[in-house]
Structure 1
Amino acid sequence: MAANVTYIPPKAANPEALRVAAYCRVSSDSSDQLHSYATQIKAYTEQIGAHTDWELVDVYADEGLTGTRMDKREDFQRLLADCRKGKVDRVLCKSISRFARNTKDCLAALRELSALGVTVYFEKENIDTGTLTSELMVSVSGALAQQESISISQNLKIAWRRMMAAGDFVTTNPPFGYELVDGCGLRIKESEADIVRWIFASYLDGISTREIAKSLTERGILTTEGNAVWNPRSVQLILDNEKYKGDTFTLKRYTTNQFPFAVKRNHGEVDQYYIENSHPAIINTDTFERVQKLKERRTRKRQLDKQDSPLRGKMACGVCGTALMRRTTGKGLISWVCRKHDESAADCPVGRIPETEIYAAFMRMYNKIRANADIVLKPALTQLDDLERALQRENPAMLEINQAIAQVAEQSHNISKLQTAGLLDADACAAKLSSIQTKLTQLRRERRRLLEHDDIEDAISRLHQTADTIKFGPEQLDTFDESLFEELVERIIAESQTCIRFRLWGGVELTEEVRRAKR
């Protein structure tokens, strides 16, 4: 009997779906751009969903004021991370200017994606990086996008300066005690304004900036940047700021026209404007002027007092550990010497070090670290942050506090977005943000209490303060600055008469040669 055979044809191959992601970005928070932002997300979702052989991975979207720096774009970094994990095959982007406005970063990202087997399609330029000749096109288009960024920056500068000349521009970065209104105006933030008034009153009562900073730190009050530790410089900047009497001195710093942009102190290179009564005052003019006069008197007193020295209490011998003492010769030459050596040269080799040479060593040290701050300070900050995270992982209560802080911070972010979108009025937003800020302060205080090694958290805060002081300090120090010295130097260790070690606040130590004074 013949076998009954039924033919079964092979099934058509079902190729894997192409995993497609989209990246979009808007460069301002204006209402039309926010509409564009939402529209892009909707359009890409529909576009990818319309292809039966495409699988939507995600729509990555950033919004912000600038696209010139990739490290500030969180969703772009998330997109790159997912590509490295093999989750994405293809990326869609409206244009190269939305992908990157810096040719170097643009090509670096595209080369990495190409090595990962991920292609990118730019709709506006009709460029597909899957083709062999696309990189040249991207380079040209990227250069144009970079020029576009420079043009946008220049247009913004022109617009802002016109507003300054008309008295309509105050700032985009509100000082402690104020909050932004209408993008570039100021409104008093009462919870912080009371602290500002207390700072001015305390200074007039004879309390030093160091004592004021210590009191603010002990009270758990956070700086504008969110730091838990205040330093004298932070207090000094408040006392110096004319905005607290309702006036605005514009363009104390300016942004260069060359790319990449850099912020520099304005020494007359760019026009400035002084706007009187530009916003509500926290301090009356009489109080502000009395503080300025008192500061001048204290400065003159320090200069006239020959026995006063910012080095007092900071100098220590690196050989025997004894404090160094100040000595003045009959000719008026001032030097510092180990107490043991002063009593008996045989007890310690660290002899006299001219005070002027210590000042000169500080200036050399500052200029070096100002030019190489990222190399010197960043590794120390990274190590401290890693250590703090390791300690926190071992403390369940600390994890709960950190999660609570993250949730409250997210609430603050969401409220700000609702206000930007016009869904929450300014007064309601201010009330909610004030309540959230109070909660954050309480949580951070509880975290400091729980942290067994709170000296680490203190070191991190102090080192961040040191980094900020250097970042916003003078580009080149040619004369000794006593205030800057106080803000940066915790201790000076004399290793010998020709070598001293500066210990900065936060624990970083730098050694500098002492040059012998010329006779």
Structure 2
Amino acid sequence: NKLKVAAYARVSTDSDDQLISLKAQREHYENYIKSNPEWEFAGLYYDEGISGTRKERRPELLRMIEDCKKDRIDFIITKSISRFARNTVDCLELVRMLIDIGVYIYFEKENLNTGDMESELMLSILSGFAAEESASISQNTKWSIQKRFQNGSYVISTPPYGYANINGEMVIILEEAEIVKRIFEEYLSGKGSSTIAKGLNKDKIPARRGNHWSTGTVIDMLRNEKYIGDVLLQKTYTDSNFNRLMNTGEKDQYYYKDNHEPIVSREVFDKAQGLLDESAKNKCKGMKRSVYLNRYALSGKILCGECGRNFRRKTNYSVGRSYIAWSCIGHIEDKESCSMLFLRDGEIKATFATMMNKLAFSHKLILEPLFKTVSQIDEESDLERIDAIDKRMEQLMEERNTLITLMAKGFLEPALFNQEHNLLDSEIKNLTGEKTSLLNNSTSGALRANEIKDLIDYVSADDFNGDYTEELFEEFVEQIIVNSREELTFKMKSGLSLKEKVVR
């Protein structure tokens, strides 16, 4: 049997020169593999315009790995380790996984065949050099961007909603600009960010990233200085491990006034900032909500860790006195099936207060790093993938229309038509699901980051006293899991799960 050989190629940017290089690589590998009589060409996989520092950002590499698992590929040829992976951990992980399923890689530049290796030492050393090379390139790129920040020549590659990048200039998109003005006007008229988002969704106004508007998106737009013609550069930065982080003072920032044409006036923008700041202060002080879903803040939020049933509020009586307690419904109905005993109302509230005081004491150690991690949404990478999906979807729709035309004219057999039509439909369905997932992940990440920021603002406020209030509990806690009478787990709306010993 012939060896099924595939090739993998990658270029770092989508510039014309790099795309010409990619074309040359494609021709080289196809001719090289087909010229060997013992080899069977199993395809060429290539990523373009995508950073190579992480395998998760390279869809073609991941598709090639999946084809290896499906026994479609026996051997892989690639130009060099740095083209295959610039991260030592990723490189070794992929090589080990492929060796386990009997697939080997040949790195041309290093003349290294993983099938012939006695150990991984050489590969580890070489991929370490590749990681250093990537870091060096990254450092040079950062230096270049830093200089453009300083002299004001940096071009905003992905302008916010309402603008487009035309020949390096931020130009207003009139239809979108009207929506931006609407958001500011509605917010100044007293509507909340959630209400504004719902109104935009109800009116079926498409957002920049899909069709869904969220509370976080509206708040980010209200805070964005670009709508008054200014620009703040270096809001985020990339660390030595290629993680994108929010810049909270670690790097210099650069603010340029009147950088481009504004959409809203400075007066309108300043009023919106005042309302946003006031709203944040009121939220931090635990302003009472106008509507409660339950009579008591704890109702429906305490869950038994043993049987999974809810806890119910009840009055317990002791000798000459009574007190409020919370009991597991499962234990009340059948003590044999659940042994979880009651907790006093005061114990739960005191435990919550203790947890909040601990967060206040250590918010820089726990909450701020979490906020930075959750805020690492690589929007540019997501947008590139969404654009790629849109282009592929358009191509698939054209292919499907062509298929239908050929069938109508009698050029295709029904069986062949059904087979090809089903393949196209399957790929369209998968791409639609992937796009939806990208949009949902972005939205949920932004909302979670906002919740964490609210929690940080509250526990770090000067007037924080750590006392329990129902408004405070409603604001930050999603659920309480009673692990035992000695330990509770608070599941916060920010995504944190915090265990705390019951305070008595």
Q: Please tell me whether residue 196 in structure 1 is matched to residue 180 in structure 2.
A: yes
Q: Please tell me whether residue 248 in structure 1 is matched to residue 231 in structure 2.
A: yes
Offset of residue 60 of structure 1 = 0.6
CA contact (8 A) 1:490 1:504 kept: yes
Return the alpha-carbon distance in structure 2 between the equivalents of residues 107 and 205 of structure 1. 57
Offset of residue 148 of structure 1 = 1.0
Q: Please tell me whether residue 477 in structure 1 is matched to residue 456 in structure 2.
A: yes
Q: Please tell me whether residue 143 in structure 1 is matched to residue 121 in structure 2.
A: no
1:410 alignment counterpart: 392
Q: Deviations over 1:275-300 (max 9, x none)?
A: 12223322222321232234345556
RMSD: 4.6
Residue 263 of structure 1 aligns with an amino acid whose one-letter code is R
* 2:214 maps to which of 230, 248, 252: 230
SS of match in other structure, 2:4: strand
Return the alpha-carbon distance in structure 2 between the equivalents of residues 408 and 113 of structure 1. 31
Q: Deviations over 1:47-94 (max 9, x none)?
A: 222223321110111113310111221111121112222222221111
Residue 115 of structure 1 aligns with an amino acid whose one-letter code is D
Q: Deviations over 1:228-276 (max 9, x none)?
A: 2512x322211111011111111122212x2x22223323321211112
Residue 469 of structure 1 aligns with an amino acid whose one-letter code is L
Aligned residue runs from structure 1 range 79-94, under 5 A: 79-94=64-79
SS of match in other structure, 2:116: coil
Return the alpha-carbon distance in structure 1 between the equivalents of residues 474 and 214 of structure 2. 10
CA contact (8 A) 2:368 2:456 kept: no
Aligned residue runs from structure 1 range 162-311, under 5 A: 162-181=147-166, 186-226=170-210, 228=212, 230-231=214-215, 233-256=216-239, 258=240, 260-298=241-279, 308-309=287-288
Offset of residue 202 of structure 1 = 0.7
Residue 410 of structure 1 aligns with an amino acid whose one-letter code is R
CA 64–486 in structure 1, closer or farther in 2 if over 3 Å, else same: farther
Return the alpha-carbon distance in structure 2 between the equivalents of residues 84 and 459 of structure 1. 24
CA 481–173 in structure 1, closer or farther in 2 if over 3 Å, else same: farther
CA 509–480 in structure 1, closer or farther in 2 if over 3 Å, else same: closer
Return the alpha-carbon distance in structure 1 between the equivalents of residues 489 and 368 of structure 2. 19
CA 138–80 in structure 1, closer or farther in 2 if over 3 Å, else same: same
1:128 alignment counterpart: 113
SS of match in other structure, 1:477: helix
Aligned residue runs from structure 1 range 366-385, under 5 A: none
Aligned residue runs from structure 1 range 396-435, under 5 A: 410-411=392-393
Q: Deviations over 1:339-359 (max 9, x none)?
A: 9879x9567556454796685
Offset of residue 475 of structure 1 = 12
Offset of residue 17 of structure 1 = 2.4
1:39 alignment counterpart: 24
Return the alpha-carbon distance in structure 1 between the equivalents of residues 361 and 173 of structure 2. 41
Q: Deviations over 1:295-338 (max 9, x none)?
A: 345556778xx893369736764886599xxxxxxxxxxxxxx9
1:7 alignment counterpart: none
CA contact (8 A) 2:150 2:254 kept: yes
CA contact (8 A) 2:477 2:490 kept: no
Q: Deviations over 1:395-447 (max 9, x none)?
A: xxxxxxxxxx99866256999xxxxxxxxxxxxxxxxxxxxxxxxxxxxxxx9
Return the alpha-carbon distance in structure 2 between the equivalents of residues 72 and 282 of structure 1. 34
Give the % identical residues.
31
CA 407–110 in structure 1, closer or farther in 2 if over 3 Å, else same: closer
Residue 477 of structure 1 aligns with an amino acid whose one-letter code is I
Residue 38 of structure 1 aligns with an amino acid whose one-letter code is K
CA 513–38 in structure 1, closer or farther in 2 if over 3 Å, else same: same
Return the alpha-carbon distance in structure 1 between the equivalents of residues 283 and 298 of structure 2. 31
CA 414–204 in structure 1, closer or farther in 2 if over 3 Å, else same: farther
Residue 253 of structure 2 aligns with an amino acid whose one-letter code is Q
Return the alpha-carbon distance in structure 2 between the equivalents of residues 138 and 27 of structure 1. 22
Return the alpha-carbon distance in structure 2 between the equivalents of residues 192 and 296 of structure 1. 26
Return the alpha-carbon distance in structure 2 between the equivalents of residues 494 and 119 of structure 1. 49
Q: How many residues align?
A: 407
CA 148–108 in structure 1, closer or farther in 2 if over 3 Å, else same: same
Return the alpha-carbon distance in structure 2 between the equivalents of residues 300 and 372 of structure 1. 22
Offset of residue 26 of structure 1 = 0.4
Q: Which runs of 5+ in 1 are unaligned?
A: 1-15, 324-337, 377-404, 416-446, 448-457
* 1:100 maps to which of 76, 85, 106: 85
Q: Which runs of 5+ in 2 are unaligned?
A: 303-311, 327-343, 375-386, 398-428, 430-435, 462-471
CA contact (8 A) 2:3 2:74 kept: yes
* 2:51 maps to which of 52, 63, 66: 66
2:307 alignment counterpart: none
Return the alpha-carbon distance in structure 2 between the equivalents of residues 341 and 460 of structure 1. 48
